[in-house]
Amino acid sequence: MERRITTISNFQMMTLIVISTIGTSSLYAPATFADYAERNSWYLAVAGGIMGLINLCVFLKLNQLYPNKNIISICTHLLGSWIGSVMAFLFICYFIDVTSWVLREFSQFFIIVLNPLIPQIWYLSAGAIMCAYAAYHGLEVFARVSEIIFFVTVTTFLLIYLLLINQYHPEYLLPILENGLAQPLRGLLLSMSWFGDLMFISMVLQHVRKTKHTNAYAISAVGITLLLLLMSILSCTMLFGGKTTATFTYPSISLIQNIKLFSNIERFDAALVVVWVMSSFIKITVYFWSANQGLSQLLRLRKPHMFIIPLAIGFVIVSKFKVWGLIELSAFYDSQAWYFVMFQLFIPAVLLFIALIKENMKKKAGECCGQQQ
């Protein structure tokens, strides 16, 4: 726990959600969705966005019931010291696991795009040191950084899609939903897991400077994420077609390589690389910070920063041996999406159900006492 109560604005909360959700998935989400739904990938993204909104509402309601508690303290409050502590520890392990996955994505991307000759451990170490430094300085610091990255990210994406507008083939989207509404939803769990990345908000909400517009900002974050993801998917589909999009490793980079401006400027893919690196930095940092906060709170540490260096070293080691390569990394996200959704939505929904029952029982007990008096 931090010595003073850190606070961030509604807008900073929104930028953290958008960057952490769309930034790292922008490169390969179109290919992953196309593998399930081809030209109807947009429909799968919309369905995932709706579930993401439901996911967000679960955490907003929990925060409404317990405004001064995060997911760690809510677990111990609702489930008792023993079971609650075990569940809280599992959430901390999930934060650690997500951090190591994204750190591995970070290094794997540089190996493919930048320089495959540099040992992976150097990319992992650089990412871990950078994010550990930000996590050490606290939520307020990297939340301010996220504001800048948000504007850069949104502007870059919009510029890319506008520059390609004369190359789109809307007919590639036809026929729409030719196999019915249910067939593309085979990939719904995966789509839910993309939007479920916002679950770190369970650690952040108690630090947000609340206003009557706080929920609107959070909901807007999901809307902006969905809009950017839809633009990415539709652009890839209308330029390459659904089947071809599914064959690319990073379809967004292939998309940018089609941009030619003034017959001389062609390499716009560097802009997307910069945006992706900045977005990865925010996502790794916010989960790193969440894991450290959770451990400090569960163990009741007076010095919350004492775990930062051990966690950073652990992230590098775990990320290094997590998977063998990009194919195995992608396959895990695909086949084990249920694992992510379980911590993102299912368990929090159960906690909310228990909380509502307890609040209802407390209310009835209060009414009975009032009647007896």
Task: Please give the pLDDT value at position 1.
Answer: 40
Output the six-digit token pair for 37: 């739904």
Q: Is the dihedral of CA 86, 91, 95, 101 positive or negative?
A: positive
Task: Please give the pLDDT value at position 269.
Answer: 65
Pairwise CA distance, residues 84 & 79, whole Å: 5
Task: Please give the pLDDT value at position 3.
Answer: 47
Q: Which helix (H) or strand (E) holds 181?
A: none
Residue pair 279/291 in contact by the 8 Å Cβ criterion = no
pLDDT tens track, the chain, 373 positions: 444 566 899 999 999 999 998 866 777 788 889 989 889 999 999 999 999 999 999 999 999 999 989 999 999 999 988 999 999 999 999 999 999 988 988 888 888 777 778 888 999 999 999 999 999 999 999 999 999 999 998 998 888 888 888 889 999 998 898 888 888 898 899 899 989 999 999 999 999 998 899 999 999 999 999 999 999 899 999 999 988 888 887 787 777 777 765 444 455 667 777 888 888 899 999 999 999 999 999 988 877 888 899 999 999 998 888 877 666 666 777 778 899 999 999 999 999 999 999 988 887 776 666 666 5
Q: Provide the phi-psi class of 273: left if phi over 0, else alpha when psi is between -120 and 50, else beta.
A: alpha
CB 82: neighbour CB atoms within 10 A? 9
Output the six-digit token pair for 20: 């952490």
Exposure string for 51-73, b = 16+ CB within 10 A, e = fewer:
bbbebbbbbbbbbebbeebbbbb
